[in-house]
Amino acid sequence: MTQNSDPVWFITGCSTGFGLELARLIIGRGWRAVVTARDRAKVDDLARGAEDRVLALSLDVTEAGQIRESVRAATDTFGRIDVLVNNAGYGYQSSIEEGEEDKVRAQFDANVFGLFALTRAVLPVMRSQRSGHILNITSVAGFVGFPASGYYAATKHAVEGFSDSLAAEAGPLGIRVICIEPGPFRTDWAGRSLVQTPNAIPDYAETAGARLKATSEKSGTQAGDPVRAGEAMIRVTEMENPPRHLVLGAWGYDAVTSRLKQRLAEIEAWRETSLGADYPQP
């Protein structure tokens, strides 16, 4: 077992995108890392030449046995876990009406229930340390539901609510919870990794159908840089008081702030109706 002062990062979904670039940054700093993917062969290169501080593991977050084994391997090797990055997941697009049950459930298993299960497995480690950071990669879709992204947005809204409660429970124990909320980034999310159910109902052609087409066409040209996103994730773990929410990318920032302002204005406009729902006060 290796013991030193370098932080130990446990990152899921390291074969592509945010997970891959973040893993490269962590390894480049000489820190310790547990890098995982469903197919270990896709992350073995990350550990090559640095086997004393990089542990490559197979991990499908929908498999409870693999979660237990990977957390045990991490603690057996490094003795601790300082940062958990819940990055594994993918996008599914369809209109709500045309959503396919098996695809919806598979996405929830990966994006939501897998994240929940891995977090539960790591919490005892961080709780005993009285320290740690949990970075949950959500999305702008955790604030805004776009056409064709209803089911994906539902998974990210679920993770946002989960993270709020987790922060309230684990914060007093020295565990920081940060939601990372990217807008469009140049990863495989909108390309190879994206699952879509084609739009066949004409009534949705101008909403869900149009967004299905636009998402595919823009893949590979998004403004967001995954390397810069990884650097931002590292920075927040080095802060004494990190933010609960970190929106990444100009498009994402504008979308989230605009939606929150609209939501607050609507709630304020209905203030009297809201307050009037209580029993009359004596």
Q: Calculate the alpha carbon distances from 124 to 132, 159, 175, 267 in Å.
A: 11, 20, 11, 39
Tell me whether residue 163 is in a domain: yes
Confirm whether 1 is domain-assigned.
Answer: no
Could you give the percent of the chain with pLDDT greater than 70?
98
Question: pLDDT tens digits for 18-76?
Answer: 999 999 999 999 999 999 999 999 999 999 999 999 999 999 999 999 999 999 999 99
**Whole-model pTM?**
0.94
User: Does a structural domain hold residue 282?
Assistant: no
Token look-up 């896709």 returns 42
pLDDT of res. 220: 76
Sign of CA dihedral 184, 61, 194, 18: positive
Report yes or no: 187 and 226 within 8 Å, Cβ to Cβ.
Answer: yes
Judge whether 92 lies within some domain. Answer: yes
Q: How far apart are the first and last CA of the chain?
A: 66
**What is the residue range of 98's domain?**
8-274
User: Which residue, among 144, 161, 155, has the nearest Cα to 263 in the 3D structure?
Assistant: 144
Rg (CA), the chain: 20
User: What distance in Å separates the CA atoms of residue 83 and residue 135, rounded to the nearest whole number?
Assistant: 7
- Please, which residues bridge with residue 92 across strands? 195
Q: What is the CATH number of the domain that holds 155?
A: 3.40.50.720
Tell me, yes or no, whether 280 lies in a domain: no
Give domain status of residue 31, yes or no: yes
> What's the pLDDT at 67?
98
Distance CA 161, CA 142 (A): 9
Q: Which of 254, 230, 258, 256 lies closest to 245 in space, CA to CA?
A: 256
Residues in the chain: 282
Let me know: does 10 contact 122? Beta carbons within 8 Å: yes
Max Cα distance, the chain (Å): 73
Distance CA 39, CA 86 (A): 17
> Is the sign of the CA dihedral 115, 138, 182, 234 positive or negative?
negative
How many Cβ atoms are within 10 Å of 161's Cβ, its own excluded? Answer: 11
Q: Are strands 8-11 and 245-248 parallel, antiparallel or unpaired?
A: unpaired
Give the span between the Cα atoms of 22 and 155, in whole angstroms.
23
Task: For residue 269, tell me if it sits in a domain.
Answer: yes
Query: What's the number of domains the chain is made of?
Result: 1
Tell me whether residue 214 is in a domain: yes
**What's the pLDDT tens digit per position in 76-98?**
999 999 999 999 999 999 999 99
Helix, strand, coil fractions of the chain, as percent rounded to 5:
50, 15, 35
Q: Which two tokens stand for residue 261?
A: 């302002």
Average pLDDT over residues 87-112: 97
* pLDDT of 261: 98
Q: How confident is the model at residue 4 (pLDDT cuts 50, 70, 90)?
A: low
Dist. CA 40–CA 34, nearest whole Å? 11
Residues belonging to the active site: 152
DSSP 205: I
**Res. 2: pLDDT tops 50:** no
Residue 52: phi, psi to the nearest 5? Answer: -75, -15
Residue 253: other Cβ atoms inside 10 A: 14
Distance of CA 92 to the CA centre of its chain: 15
**CA separation (Å) from 131 to 122, 236, 254, 272?**
12, 15, 33, 43
